[in-house]
Homo-oligomer: A and B are copies of this chain.
Amino acid sequence: MNDAQVAGPADPAGVDVPAELAEARRTIDNIDAALVHILAERFRCTQRVGHIKAAFGLPPADPAREARQVERLRALAAQSGLDPDFAETFLAFMVTEVIRHHEAIRAEYRSDS
């Protein structure tokens, strides 16, 4: 690739990419940093939920709550131009991880009692 289309700081390995691509990648990198931080906060919150559930003897999974979340996130996805199927798969991906955490927390509570 030539002078008009060189890599920016988003491509530190020095591989030439079109300038437009380097520009888009900088946006993606910023978005990804935001996603990581917001996911970190989501898991801090679900860890708290895990402790509440364990303390109250509630099961780690809550299918009725999850069904409501699926419907809500599909609707929000449709409004914002995200594929609703992707949003649903993404929620399932997070919930699987959360339930794993909740089960671990519940096991801790049981071993303490």
Residues of A within 8 A of B (CB): 11-13, 15, 17-18, 20-21, 24-25, 27-29, 31-46, 48-49, 52-53, 56, 58, 64-65, 68-69, 72-73, 76-77, 80-83, 86-87, 90-91, 93, 97
Inter-chain CA distance A39–B88, complex, in Å, is: 12
16 A–B contact pairs at CB < 8 A? A12-B68, A18-B56, A21-B53, A24-B49, A25-B65, A27-B45, A28-B45, A35-B35, A35-B38, A36-B73, A36-B77, A37-B80, A38-B38, A43-B81, A43-B83, A44-B81
B49–A41 CB distance below 8 A: no
Residue numbers in B under 8 Å from A38 (CB-CB):
31, 34-35, 38
